[in-house]
Structure 1
Amino acid sequence: MEYYHLRTFVAVAEEEHLTRAAERLNASLPAVSAHVRGLEEELGVPLFTRTPKGMRLTGEGQALLTEAKQALAGLDAVRARAGSLRRDVTGVVRIGLNNEAGRMRVPEMLAVLSRRHPGVEVHLTDSSSANILDNVRQGKLDLGFIYDNIIEQGRDVVTVPLENVDMAVVGPTSWADRVCLADWETLAGLPWVWFSQRCPFQYLLEACFSCRDLPLNKVMVGDSDATLRTMVAAGIGLTLLRRDDALEAEAAGEVCLWQREGLTLGLSLIYRREKAEDRVVAAVVAAVSEVWGLPGHRR
């Protein structure tokens, strides 16, 4: 059922005539007739009785008219709300990025935001998922992109899921025979270049190994993807990287990839629940939703 179906139904009911309704709607007579016929077929009830003088509501049509008007009013309210968001939204918004801006589709988001709300000034901060989560909760950031497996239970943060990011276990190229087709037990026994506290990569792997009751052999800790990649290339141990980074490192002859199972992390946009009605935050969420092609938004 589309908006135009309800609009046509109400117009015909009020005008009691197809031609007058078509003139009111600035539509062709065949189109108005088709809208009425399509709505009747979808609802499975007759809405009008055709008479020589025009169109008369049936009992079913009379019963549905009030609901149709209320539905139209609701849709008009949504449109009006959207219009208010498009107009005069100004202010500064602070957004945390847990990876490169291009991977977060930030340039596309900024283009949409600039076109709709030129009065919004965007400040971007590069940080880790854990720090971004803390800073959003503390009000130091308005929104942030994070890997969402670090979010503890609670209702203080709104999470907008964007995509599942493919991950890959990688090892030194000279370890390919031991790593590529290894089982979980073999992986656990090899040296690992580990991650800083509250790192989403750490949480993901710890969940994988702990559920199999396998202890890990951690030989060092790094706090950036670049450091992890460099240490693996140097032959120090295994680590976890985004799959796109891992494939790039593999193509450069720096690492080999474990091939037994796929791992993923959820990437989400977050903001404080109390900021849900903030017009600047809502504008950013709408722009992000559009460029990521989320349900209800055109891409």
Structure 2
Amino acid sequence: MELYQLRTFVTVAETGNLTRAAQRINASGPAVSAQIKALEEELGLELFARTARGMSLTDAGRELVERARRTLEAAGELLSAAGSFRAEAVGVARIGLNNEPGRLRMTEFLARMRSDHPRIELHLMQYSTADALDGILTGELDAAFAYETANDPVAELKGVPLCRVDMAIVGPASWRGRIEEADWGELSGMPWVWFPERCPFQFLLEETFAHKGFSLNKVIVGDNDSTLRALVAAGCGLTLLRRDDALDACAAGDVCVWEREPMSLALSFLYRRTRENDPVIRAVCGVLEQVWGDGADVC
């Protein structure tokens, strides 16, 4: 049994699809299928039920995939521990990005990582904050950029504070007259374009309005920032955007911005608390602290 077979097993279990699993681990579909078949033959068990909708774990597969994750994590920890005895950190860092790379200062981060830690292999992948937190807890990710809210599993996570991100409430440009002078109560009664489950924007709005004694009138859900902006521009209701996105949309004539009181979210770089002394995690966090400074700035 090889570690790459276990990694393939876990990836197929997470994606439920041979093609998506192959894309994630940079292998061909036939190679992924062959690795799963070889592992099943060695174990003498069927790990997956093949269906028209994809790959579904069998009872045995569900039991063994958690053991496979722990084995891979232990192998990674062994590699990192070995690296700690050398002058440079060695290993793989799978990092979730919850925004565009430029906004997360990836250009400078990558340049410093190549210079200071050339033997750390970086895997950068786009994740929503909610999916990134899940990925850290399941071991799919080593760390991630994420907006912090009171709903996060803070007991299990530790992070590097990076900055606060200004937010703004926006509405259709044609509603400018009724929105710009509206108070919190009037805003709460207007229709709202809402967010995917567990989106930090959702938590921020609900907590803010609940603190002021109001609930919100949610009429439609969008799945990403560009969809939210388009739905607002089409006159469907209000929503919350990053302030820089809101000002760009306002300048384009798509929305109007309500800015009578500031709102913001904390952006942090999070990882499992149990990996605080992992050499790879320490190296990545050290470079991030150089790139971002003391985390006091608003971005």
Deviation at 1:155, TM superposition (A): 2.3
Give the match for residue 67 of structure 1: none
Alignment of 1:125-144 (within 5 A): 125-144=125-144
Give the match for residue 226 of structure 2: 226
Off by >6 Å, runs of 4+ in structure 1: none
Deviation at 1:153, TM superposition (A): 5.2
Alignment of 1:22-171 (within 5 A): 87-149=87-149, 151-152=151-152, 154-171=154-171
Give the match for residue 277 of structure 1: 277
Deviation at 1:159, TM superposition (A): 1.9
Partners of 1:134 and 1:216 in 2: CA distance: 27
Structure 1 unaligned residues grouped into runs of 5+: 1-83
Deviation at 1:152, TM superposition (A): 3.2
- The reply to whether residue 266 of structure 1 matches residue 266 of structure 2 is yes
Partners of 2:259 and 2:199 in 1: CA distance: 23
**Larger of the two Rg values belongs to structure:** 1
Partners of 1:153 and 1:146 in 2: CA distance: 12
Partners of 2:209 and 2:85 in 1: CA distance: 47
Give the match for residue 244 of structure 1: 244
Deviation at 1:208, TM superposition (A): 1.2
Partners of 1:86 and 1:253 in 2: CA distance: 56
Aligned residues, how many?
212
Partners of 1:152 and 1:158 in 2: CA distance: 11
Contact 1:146/1:269 (<8 A) preserved? yes
DSSP 3-state at the match of 1:260: strand
DSSP 3-state at the match of 1:204: helix
DSSP 3-state at the match of 1:291: helix
DSSP 3-state at the match of 2:186: helix
Deviation at 1:160, TM superposition (A): 1.4
Partners of 1:182 and 1:85 in 2: CA distance: 61
Contact 1:85/1:283 (<8 A) preserved? no
DSSP 3-state at the match of 2:193: strand
Give the match for residue 191 of structure 2: 191
Once the two structures are superposed, residues 28-76 of structure 1 have per-residue CA deviations (whole angstroms, 9 ceiling, x without a partner) of xxxxxxxxxxxxxxxxxxxxxxxxxxxxxxxxxxxxxxxxxxxxxxxxx
**Code of the aligned partner of 1:135:** G
Once the two structures are superposed, residues 146-175 of structure 1 have per-residue CA deviations (whole angstroms, 9 ceiling, x without a partner) of 000154354211021111100000000000
Give the match for residue 43 of structure 1: none
Partners of 1:271 and 1:240 in 2: CA distance: 27
Give the match for residue 235 of structure 1: 235
Partners of 1:105 and 1:150 in 2: CA distance: 25
Deviation at 1:259, TM superposition (A): 2.3
Contact 2:206/2:215 (<8 A) preserved? no
For normalisation by structure 2, the TM-score amounts to: 0.68
Deviation at 1:275, TM superposition (A): 1.0
**Code of the aligned partner of 2:184:** W
Once the two structures are superposed, residues 104-157 of structure 1 have per-residue CA deviations (whole angstroms, 9 ceiling, x without a partner) of 111111111110111111101101101101111111101100000154354211
**Code of the aligned partner of 1:275:** R
Partners of 1:190 and 1:182 in 2: CA distance: 10
For normalisation by structure 1, the TM-score amounts to: 0.68
Partners of 1:86 and 1:201 in 2: CA distance: 43
Seq. identity, %? 52
Once the two structures are superposed, residues 229-266 of structure 1 have per-residue CA deviations (whole angstroms, 9 ceiling, x without a partner) of 00011111100000000011011110000021110000
Contact 1:109/1:288 (<8 A) preserved? yes
DSSP 3-state at the match of 2:283: helix
RMSD (Å) for aligned C-alpha atoms: 1.6
**Code of the aligned partner of 1:276:** E
Contact 1:181/1:259 (<8 A) preserved? no
Give the match for residue 175 of structure 2: 175
